[in-house]
Protein backbone atom coordinates (compact mmCIF):
# COMPACT_ATOMS: atom_id res chain seq x y z
CA UNK A 1 0.00 0.00 0.00
CA UNK A 2 1.47 3.39 0.95
CA UNK A 3 4.79 3.95 2.65
CA UNK A 4 3.06 6.24 5.13
CA UNK A 5 -0.41 6.75 6.40
CA UNK A 6 -1.29 10.34 5.80
CA UNK A 7 -1.71 10.57 2.03
CA UNK A 8 -4.55 13.02 1.44
CA UNK A 9 -6.73 13.88 -1.49
CA UNK A 10 -7.31 17.53 -2.30
CA UNK A 11 -10.27 18.92 -4.23
CA UNK A 12 -9.07 21.99 -6.14
CA UNK A 13 -11.44 24.51 -7.69
CA UNK A 14 -9.71 26.48 -10.46
CA UNK A 15 -11.71 29.51 -11.63
CA UNK A 16 -9.34 30.89 -14.27
CA UNK A 17 -7.46 29.52 -17.26
CA UNK A 18 -4.13 30.52 -15.70
CA UNK A 19 -4.93 28.35 -12.69
CA UNK A 20 -5.64 25.39 -14.94
CA UNK A 21 -2.35 25.97 -16.71
CA UNK A 22 -0.53 26.07 -13.38
CA UNK A 23 -2.08 22.74 -12.38
CA UNK A 24 -1.15 21.19 -15.74
CA UNK A 25 2.44 22.27 -15.19
CA UNK A 26 2.28 20.91 -11.66
CA UNK A 27 1.16 17.55 -13.04
CA UNK A 28 4.23 17.55 -15.29
CA UNK A 29 6.69 18.87 -12.71
CA UNK A 30 5.65 16.36 -10.04
CA UNK A 31 5.10 13.44 -12.43
CA UNK A 32 5.29 10.24 -10.40
CA UNK A 33 5.16 12.07 -7.04
CA UNK A 34 1.56 13.26 -6.90
CA UNK A 35 -1.44 11.48 -8.38
CA UNK A 36 -4.07 13.43 -10.30
CA UNK A 37 -7.31 11.49 -9.88
CA UNK A 38 -9.00 13.92 -12.27
CA UNK A 39 -7.21 16.13 -14.75
CA UNK A 40 -6.98 19.94 -14.76
CA UNK A 41 -8.71 20.75 -18.01
CA UNK A 42 -12.19 22.16 -17.44
CA UNK A 43 -13.04 25.36 -15.60
CA UNK A 44 -15.72 24.74 -13.01
CA UNK A 45 -14.82 21.07 -12.62
CA UNK A 46 -13.08 19.96 -9.44
CA UNK A 47 -9.52 18.67 -9.83
CA UNK A 48 -8.80 15.81 -7.42
CA UNK A 49 -5.18 15.12 -6.44
CA UNK A 50 -3.65 12.63 -4.03
CA UNK A 51 -0.59 14.10 -2.32
CA UNK A 52 1.97 12.36 -0.08
CA UNK A 53 2.63 13.77 3.40
CA UNK A 54 6.03 15.32 2.62
CA UNK A 55 4.60 17.52 -0.17
CA UNK A 56 1.33 18.62 1.41
CA UNK A 57 2.52 21.79 3.15
CA UNK A 58 4.53 23.12 0.21
CA UNK A 59 1.76 22.40 -2.29
CA UNK A 60 -0.86 24.02 -0.06
CA UNK A 61 1.33 27.13 -0.09
CA UNK A 62 1.47 27.01 -3.90
CA UNK A 63 -2.31 26.64 -4.15
CA UNK A 64 -2.77 29.70 -1.96
CA UNK A 65 -0.17 31.69 -3.91
CA UNK A 66 -2.08 31.01 -7.12
CA UNK A 67 -5.44 31.81 -5.55
CA UNK A 68 -6.80 28.28 -6.02
CA UNK A 69 -9.54 27.34 -3.58
CA UNK A 70 -9.17 23.84 -2.19
CA UNK A 71 -10.66 21.49 0.34
CA UNK A 72 -9.60 18.12 1.72
CA UNK A 73 -11.33 15.16 0.16
CA UNK A 74 -9.96 12.17 2.08
CA UNK A 75 -8.04 13.08 5.22
CA UNK A 76 -6.13 9.79 5.17
CA UNK A 77 -6.39 7.68 2.02
CA UNK A 78 -4.85 4.59 3.56
CA UNK A 79 -7.28 4.76 6.46
CA UNK A 80 -10.19 5.03 4.00
CA UNK A 81 -8.93 1.96 2.14
CA UNK A 82 -8.60 -0.05 5.33
CA UNK A 83 -12.12 0.92 6.46
CA UNK A 84 -13.67 -0.12 3.14
CA UNK A 85 -15.55 -3.44 3.18
CA UNK A 86 -13.46 -6.48 2.37
CA UNK A 87 -14.08 -8.08 -1.00
CA UNK A 88 -16.40 -11.02 -1.43
CA UNK A 89 -14.96 -14.45 -0.60
CA UNK A 90 -17.09 -15.91 -3.37
CA UNK A 91 -18.47 -14.17 -6.42
CA UNK A 92 -21.25 -11.67 -5.74
CA UNK A 93 -22.81 -9.32 -8.29
CA UNK A 94 -23.10 -6.57 -5.69
CA UNK A 95 -19.58 -6.86 -4.31
CA UNK A 96 -16.13 -6.10 -5.66
CA UNK A 97 -14.69 -9.42 -6.82
CA UNK A 98 -11.13 -10.65 -7.20
CA UNK A 99 -9.78 -11.40 -10.66
CA UNK A 100 -9.84 -15.15 -10.00
CA UNK A 101 -13.47 -14.99 -8.88
CA UNK A 102 -14.38 -13.03 -12.02
CA UNK A 103 -12.71 -15.66 -14.21
CA UNK A 104 -14.62 -18.41 -12.40
CA UNK A 105 -17.85 -16.45 -12.84
CA UNK A 106 -17.29 -16.18 -16.60
CA UNK A 107 -16.85 -19.95 -16.90
CA UNK A 108 -19.93 -20.66 -14.76
CA UNK A 109 -22.01 -18.01 -16.51
CA UNK A 110 -21.16 -19.37 -19.95
CA UNK A 111 -21.89 -22.93 -18.83
CA UNK A 112 -25.27 -21.97 -17.33
CA UNK A 113 -26.27 -20.05 -20.49
CA UNK A 114 -24.52 -22.10 -23.15
CA UNK A 115 -27.18 -21.47 -25.78
CA UNK A 116 -26.26 -17.77 -26.00
CA UNK A 117 -22.99 -17.32 -24.03
CA UNK A 118 -19.54 -18.62 -24.90
CA UNK A 119 -16.20 -18.01 -23.23
CA UNK A 120 -13.10 -16.86 -25.12
CA UNK A 121 -9.43 -16.21 -24.37
CA UNK A 122 -7.86 -12.97 -25.57
CA UNK A 123 -4.22 -13.64 -24.67
CA UNK A 124 -1.73 -13.63 -21.83
CA UNK A 125 -0.51 -10.80 -19.61
CA UNK A 126 3.03 -9.89 -18.56
CA UNK A 127 2.64 -11.97 -15.37
CA UNK A 128 1.10 -14.89 -17.24
CA UNK A 129 -2.60 -14.45 -16.52
CA UNK A 130 -5.13 -15.31 -19.19
CA UNK A 131 -7.30 -12.40 -20.30
CA UNK A 132 -10.77 -13.90 -20.60
CA UNK A 133 -14.04 -12.72 -22.02
CA UNK A 134 -17.56 -13.84 -22.81
CA UNK A 135 -19.51 -13.53 -26.03
CA UNK A 136 -23.28 -13.08 -25.81
CA UNK A 137 -25.49 -13.59 -28.84
CA UNK A 138 -28.02 -15.83 -30.48
CA UNK A 139 -26.64 -18.13 -33.22
CA UNK A 140 -23.16 -16.67 -32.86
CA UNK A 141 -21.09 -16.48 -36.02
CA UNK A 142 -18.97 -14.39 -38.35
CA UNK A 143 -21.96 -13.34 -40.45
CA UNK A 144 -23.29 -11.23 -37.58
CA UNK A 145 -22.16 -7.71 -36.73
CA UNK A 146 -20.36 -7.36 -33.41
CA UNK A 147 -19.96 -5.09 -30.39
CA UNK A 148 -16.99 -4.92 -28.00
CA UNK A 149 -17.21 -3.75 -24.38
CA UNK A 150 -14.35 -3.84 -21.87
CA UNK A 151 -13.64 -2.88 -18.29
CA UNK A 152 -10.71 -2.77 -15.94
CA UNK A 153 -8.04 -1.29 -18.20
CA UNK A 154 -7.06 0.89 -15.23
CA UNK A 155 -6.61 -1.39 -12.25
CA UNK A 156 -7.94 0.83 -9.46
CA UNK A 157 -11.25 1.58 -11.19
CA UNK A 158 -13.10 -1.29 -9.50
CA UNK A 159 -16.56 -0.05 -10.41
CA UNK A 160 -15.74 -0.65 -14.08
CA UNK A 161 -15.48 -4.48 -14.03
CA UNK A 162 -18.36 -4.65 -11.54
CA UNK A 163 -20.60 -2.64 -13.86
CA UNK A 164 -19.57 -4.53 -17.00
CA UNK A 165 -20.39 -7.83 -15.28
CA UNK A 166 -23.83 -6.57 -14.31
CA UNK A 167 -24.44 -5.41 -17.89
CA UNK A 168 -23.67 -8.93 -19.13
CA UNK A 169 -26.05 -10.45 -16.60
CA UNK A 170 -28.81 -8.01 -17.50
CA UNK A 171 -28.49 -8.72 -21.22
CA UNK A 172 -28.98 -12.43 -20.58
CA UNK A 173 -31.76 -11.92 -18.01
CA UNK A 174 -33.71 -9.66 -20.38
CA UNK A 175 -33.24 -12.11 -23.22
CA UNK A 176 -34.60 -14.91 -21.02
CA UNK A 177 -37.64 -12.88 -19.98
CA UNK A 178 -38.49 -12.03 -23.58
CA UNK A 179 -37.52 -8.37 -23.78
CA UNK A 180 -38.16 -7.68 -27.46
CA UNK A 181 -35.45 -5.04 -27.87
CA UNK A 182 -32.75 -7.15 -26.23
CA UNK A 183 -33.81 -10.22 -28.17
CA UNK A 184 -33.41 -8.29 -31.42
CA UNK A 185 -30.00 -7.01 -30.27
CA UNK A 186 -28.73 -10.51 -29.51
CA UNK A 187 -30.22 -11.87 -32.74
CA UNK A 188 -28.43 -9.16 -34.72
CA UNK A 189 -25.15 -8.67 -32.84
CA UNK A 190 -22.62 -10.71 -30.91
CA UNK A 191 -21.53 -8.83 -27.78
CA UNK A 192 -17.87 -9.46 -26.88
CA UNK A 193 -17.32 -8.51 -23.24
CA UNK A 194 -13.97 -8.45 -21.39
CA UNK A 195 -14.58 -7.44 -17.75
CA UNK A 196 -10.90 -6.99 -16.84
CA UNK A 197 -8.36 -6.22 -19.55
CA UNK A 198 -5.59 -5.24 -17.12
CA UNK A 199 -5.62 -8.53 -15.25
CA UNK A 200 -2.21 -8.14 -13.58
CA UNK A 201 -2.85 -4.61 -12.38
CA UNK A 202 -6.31 -5.49 -11.10
CA UNK A 203 -4.96 -8.52 -9.21
CA UNK A 204 -2.27 -6.27 -7.71
CA UNK A 205 -4.93 -3.99 -6.22
CA UNK A 206 -6.22 -6.99 -4.23
CA UNK A 207 -2.90 -8.58 -3.30
CA UNK A 208 -1.34 -8.61 0.15
CA UNK A 209 1.40 -6.03 -0.17
CA UNK A 210 -0.25 -4.66 -3.29
CA UNK A 211 -1.63 -1.19 -3.94
CA UNK A 212 -5.38 -0.52 -4.01
CA UNK A 213 -4.77 2.60 -6.10
CA UNK A 214 -2.49 1.03 -8.73
CA UNK A 215 -3.44 2.14 -12.26
CA UNK A 216 -1.00 0.66 -14.78
CA UNK A 217 -0.13 -2.87 -15.85
CA UNK A 218 2.67 -4.75 -14.09
CA UNK A 219 5.37 -4.76 -16.78
CA UNK A 220 8.65 -4.59 -14.87
CA UNK A 221 10.82 -4.60 -18.00
CA UNK A 222 10.13 -1.00 -19.00
CA UNK A 223 13.04 1.48 -19.22
CA UNK A 224 13.60 3.37 -16.00
CA UNK A 225 13.26 2.48 -12.36
CA UNK A 226 9.49 1.98 -12.04
CA UNK A 227 6.97 -0.68 -12.99
CA UNK A 228 4.04 -0.49 -15.33
CA UNK A 229 2.57 1.15 -18.41
CA UNK A 230 -0.74 3.00 -18.65
CA UNK A 231 -2.56 0.68 -21.04
CA UNK A 232 -4.91 3.45 -22.11
CA UNK A 233 -1.98 5.42 -23.47
CA UNK A 234 -0.53 2.45 -25.38
CA UNK A 235 -3.11 1.65 -28.09
CA UNK A 236 -1.47 1.70 -31.52
CA UNK A 237 -3.19 4.72 -33.00
CA UNK A 238 -1.75 8.24 -32.77
CA UNK A 239 0.52 7.07 -29.94
CA UNK A 240 3.20 9.30 -31.44
CA UNK A 241 1.10 12.42 -30.81
CA UNK A 242 2.34 12.24 -27.19
CA UNK A 243 -0.45 14.34 -25.71
CA UNK A 244 -1.63 13.79 -22.13
CA UNK A 245 1.03 11.17 -21.52
CA UNK A 246 4.22 10.70 -19.57
CA UNK A 247 7.56 9.39 -20.81
CA UNK A 248 8.62 8.83 -17.21
CA UNK A 249 8.14 5.20 -16.20
CA UNK A 250 7.16 6.39 -12.70
CA UNK A 251 4.32 8.52 -14.09
CA UNK A 252 0.78 7.17 -13.89
CA UNK A 253 0.20 8.02 -17.57
CA UNK A 254 3.46 6.46 -18.79
CA UNK A 255 2.71 5.52 -22.39
CA UNK A 256 5.28 2.75 -22.73
CA UNK A 257 8.47 2.54 -24.79
CA UNK A 258 6.71 2.07 -28.15
CA UNK A 259 3.25 2.12 -29.67
CA UNK A 260 1.35 -1.04 -28.74
CA UNK A 261 4.31 -2.35 -26.76
CA UNK A 262 2.27 -4.01 -24.01
CA UNK A 263 1.19 -7.63 -24.12
CA UNK A 264 -2.34 -6.79 -23.02
CA UNK A 265 -2.79 -4.25 -25.84
CA UNK A 266 -1.21 -6.58 -28.38
CA UNK A 267 -3.52 -9.36 -27.23
CA UNK A 268 -6.78 -7.40 -27.48
CA UNK A 269 -5.99 -5.57 -30.72
CA UNK A 270 -4.85 -8.76 -32.44
CA UNK A 271 -7.84 -10.68 -31.13
CA UNK A 272 -10.41 -8.14 -32.29
CA UNK A 273 -8.85 -7.69 -35.72
CA UNK A 274 -8.42 -11.44 -36.20
CA UNK A 275 -12.12 -12.01 -35.47
CA UNK A 276 -12.82 -10.35 -38.86
CA UNK A 277 -16.19 -9.03 -37.81
CA UNK A 278 -18.06 -5.91 -38.81
CA UNK A 279 -17.75 -3.98 -35.57
CA UNK A 280 -20.47 -1.44 -34.88
CA UNK A 281 -19.90 -0.60 -31.20
CA UNK A 282 -16.87 -0.20 -28.93
CA UNK A 283 -17.01 1.00 -25.31
CA UNK A 284 -14.17 1.10 -22.80
CA UNK A 285 -15.68 1.58 -19.31
CA UNK A 286 -13.67 3.65 -16.81
CA UNK A 287 -14.12 5.62 -13.61
CA UNK A 288 -14.69 8.26 -12.66
CA UNK A 289 -16.41 11.55 -13.70
CA UNK A 290 -19.69 10.55 -15.41
CA UNK A 291 -18.76 11.18 -19.02
CA UNK A 292 -19.50 9.70 -22.45
CA UNK A 293 -16.49 10.49 -24.64
CA UNK A 294 -16.15 9.93 -28.38
CA UNK A 295 -13.08 10.39 -30.63
CA UNK A 296 -10.83 12.12 -30.99
CA UNK A 297 -8.86 11.76 -27.79
CA UNK A 298 -5.39 12.35 -29.23
CA UNK A 299 -5.85 16.03 -30.17
CA UNK A 300 -8.04 19.02 -29.44
CA UNK A 301 -7.19 20.67 -32.75
CA UNK A 302 -7.46 17.77 -35.20
CA UNK A 303 -10.56 17.76 -37.39
CA UNK A 304 -13.25 15.66 -35.77
CA UNK A 305 -14.12 12.27 -37.29
CA UNK A 306 -16.70 12.15 -40.07
CA UNK A 307 -19.08 10.35 -37.68
CA UNK A 308 -18.52 12.71 -34.75
CA UNK A 309 -21.97 14.30 -34.77
CA UNK A 310 -23.59 10.89 -35.07
CA UNK A 311 -21.57 9.58 -32.14
CA UNK A 312 -22.33 12.59 -29.96
CA UNK A 313 -26.03 12.36 -30.77
CA UNK A 314 -26.09 8.65 -29.92
CA UNK A 315 -24.12 9.30 -26.74
CA UNK A 316 -26.52 12.04 -25.71
CA UNK A 317 -29.49 9.74 -26.26
CA UNK A 318 -27.79 7.03 -24.21
CA UNK A 319 -26.91 9.44 -21.40
CA UNK A 320 -30.54 10.57 -21.31
CA UNK A 321 -31.68 6.95 -20.94
CA UNK A 322 -29.19 6.48 -18.09
CA UNK A 323 -30.33 9.66 -16.36
CA UNK A 324 -33.95 8.54 -16.41
CA UNK A 325 -33.17 5.85 -13.80
CA UNK A 326 -31.64 7.78 -10.87
CA UNK A 327 -31.21 11.27 -12.34
CA UNK A 328 -27.45 10.70 -12.72
CA UNK A 329 -26.06 13.40 -15.01
CA UNK A 330 -23.45 12.50 -17.65
CA UNK A 331 -21.59 14.94 -19.91
CA UNK A 332 -21.21 13.93 -23.57
CA UNK A 333 -18.77 15.05 -26.25
CA UNK A 334 -15.56 14.43 -28.18
CA UNK A 335 -12.94 13.33 -25.69
CA UNK A 336 -10.15 15.87 -26.17
CA UNK A 337 -12.54 18.82 -26.51
CA UNK A 338 -14.67 17.76 -23.56
CA UNK A 339 -11.98 16.55 -21.18
CA UNK A 340 -8.33 16.63 -22.32
CA UNK A 341 -6.10 15.45 -25.14
CA UNK A 342 -4.58 12.02 -24.54
CA UNK A 343 -2.95 9.93 -27.23
CA UNK A 344 -2.79 6.17 -27.60
CA UNK A 345 -6.33 5.78 -26.24
CA UNK A 346 -8.89 3.06 -26.80
CA UNK A 347 -11.81 4.97 -28.35
CA UNK A 348 -9.58 6.39 -31.09
CA UNK A 349 -8.29 2.93 -31.98
CA UNK A 350 -11.79 1.46 -31.86
CA UNK A 351 -13.01 3.99 -34.38
CA UNK A 352 -10.00 4.49 -36.67
CA UNK A 353 -8.52 0.99 -36.76
CA UNK A 354 -11.28 -1.42 -35.77
CA UNK A 355 -13.85 0.57 -37.72
CA UNK A 356 -16.57 0.76 -35.06
CA UNK A 357 -18.81 3.68 -36.01
CA UNK A 358 -19.86 4.12 -32.38
CA UNK A 359 -16.69 4.15 -30.26
CA UNK A 360 -16.48 5.60 -26.76
CA UNK A 361 -14.85 5.80 -23.39
CA UNK A 362 -17.52 5.92 -20.68
CA UNK A 363 -16.43 7.29 -17.30
CA UNK A 364 -18.74 5.87 -14.63
CA UNK A 365 -19.74 7.09 -11.17
CA UNK A 366 -18.96 9.17 -9.14
CA UNK A 367 -18.50 12.79 -10.17
CA UNK A 368 -15.62 13.40 -7.78
CA UNK A 369 -13.69 12.69 -4.61
CA UNK A 370 -14.67 11.58 -2.09
CA UNK A 371 -15.21 8.76 -2.76
CA UNK A 372 -13.33 8.89 -6.08
CA UNK A 373 -11.91 5.46 -6.84
CA UNK A 374 -13.05 4.15 -3.45
CA UNK A 375 -16.71 3.94 -4.45
CA UNK A 376 -18.71 2.00 -1.81
CA UNK A 377 -20.14 -1.38 -2.74
CA UNK A 378 -23.69 -0.13 -2.32
CA UNK A 379 -23.11 1.90 -5.50
CA UNK A 380 -22.47 -1.22 -7.61
CA UNK A 381 -26.10 -2.18 -8.13
CA UNK A 382 -27.34 1.30 -9.14
CA UNK A 383 -24.32 1.78 -11.39
CA UNK A 384 -25.10 -1.49 -13.14
CA UNK A 385 -28.81 -0.70 -13.48
CA UNK A 386 -28.38 2.79 -14.91
CA UNK A 387 -25.46 1.90 -17.17
CA UNK A 388 -27.43 -1.00 -18.59
CA UNK A 389 -29.98 1.56 -19.81
CA UNK A 390 -27.14 3.36 -21.59
CA UNK A 391 -26.10 0.06 -23.18
CA UNK A 392 -29.64 -0.70 -24.32
CA UNK A 393 -29.92 2.75 -25.85
CA UNK A 394 -26.72 2.17 -27.79
CA UNK A 395 -28.10 -1.20 -28.86
CA UNK A 396 -31.13 0.51 -30.37
CA UNK A 397 -28.79 2.95 -32.13
CA UNK A 398 -26.82 0.02 -33.58
CA UNK A 399 -30.13 -1.33 -34.86
CA UNK A 400 -30.88 1.98 -36.55
CA UNK A 401 -33.69 2.86 -34.19
The single residue of 363, 377, 381, 386 carrying the catalytic annotation is 363
| Alpha-carbon span 344 to 234, nearest angstrom | 5
Task: Answer whether 154's CB lies under 8 Å from 198's CB.
Answer: yes
278 is an active site residue: no
**Environment class of 50 (CB within 10 Å of its CB; exposed 0-12, middle 13-18, buried 19+):** buried
Q: Report how far apart, in Å, the C-alpha atoms of 281 and of each of 28, 137, 183 are.
A: 34, 14, 17
* Residue 169 CB neighbours (<10 A): 17
Question: Which of 395, 377, 400 is closest to 159 using CA atoms?
Answer: 377
Task: Answer whether 119's CB lies under 8 Å from 94's CB.
Answer: no
| Alpha-carbon span 155 to 99, nearest angstrom | 11
| Alpha-carbon span 239 to 226, nearest angstrom | 21
| DSSP codes, 328-345 | ---EEEEHHHHT---SS-
| Alpha-carbon span 71 to 210, nearest angstrom | 28
Residues 76-113: b if buried by 16+ CB within 10 A, e if exposed: bbbebbeebeeeeeebeeebbbbbebbbebbeebbeeb
Active site residues: 363
Amino acid sequence: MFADNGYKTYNLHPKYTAQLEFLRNLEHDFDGSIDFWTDPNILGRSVDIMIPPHLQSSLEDLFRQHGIDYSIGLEDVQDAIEKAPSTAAVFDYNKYNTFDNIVTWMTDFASANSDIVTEFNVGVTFEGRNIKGIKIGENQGSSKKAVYYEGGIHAREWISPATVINIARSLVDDYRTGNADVKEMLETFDYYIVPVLNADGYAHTYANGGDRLWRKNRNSDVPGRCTGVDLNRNWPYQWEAANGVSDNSCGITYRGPTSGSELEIQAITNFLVDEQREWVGFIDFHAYSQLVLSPWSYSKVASLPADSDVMVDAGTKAATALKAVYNTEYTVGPSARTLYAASGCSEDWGYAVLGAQYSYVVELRPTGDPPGFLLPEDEIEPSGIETYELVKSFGLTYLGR
